[in-house]
């Protein structure tokens, strides 16, 4: 017996694209967070500020995209 998926207004391709974009964003966030940790360990203030600004920018973009749904 085939598993029935709940009905949605979105095409499967659109859902797949959303999942991939989310996975990539989560991966990039984890990378930046690790680099922030490294910059703290190395006491690299310039790199820390650059990375936290980048992380905050990504957060703002994600918030805007989430509000469009």
Give 8-37 pLDDT, tens digit per residue. Answer: 688 889 889 999 999 999 999 999 999 999
pLDDT at 2 over 80: no
Residue 53, pLDDT above cutoff 70? yes
Evaluate whether residue 53 is within a structural domain.
yes
**pTM strictly above 0.75:** no
Is residue 2, in this structure, part of any structural domain at all? no
Give the pLDDT mean for 39-58. 95
Residue 13 lies in a domain: no
Cα separation values, 61 from 21, 25, 46, Å: 13, 10, 23
Q: In this structure, are residues 8 and 16 in contact, taking their beta carbons and an 8 Å threshold? A: no
Range of the structural domain that residue 52 is part of:
22-67
More confident of the two residues 57 and 46 = 46
Number of domains in the chain: 1
């Amino acid at each position: 017996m085939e598993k029935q998926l709940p009905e949605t207004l979105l095409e499967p391709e659109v859902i797949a694209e959303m999942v991939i974009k989310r996975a990539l964003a989560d991966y990039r966030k984890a990378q930046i967070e690790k680099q922030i940790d490294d910059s703290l360990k190395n006491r690299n203030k310039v790199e820390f500020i650059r990375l936290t600004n980048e992380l905050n920018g990504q957060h703002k973009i994600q918030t805007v995209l989430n509000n469009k749904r």
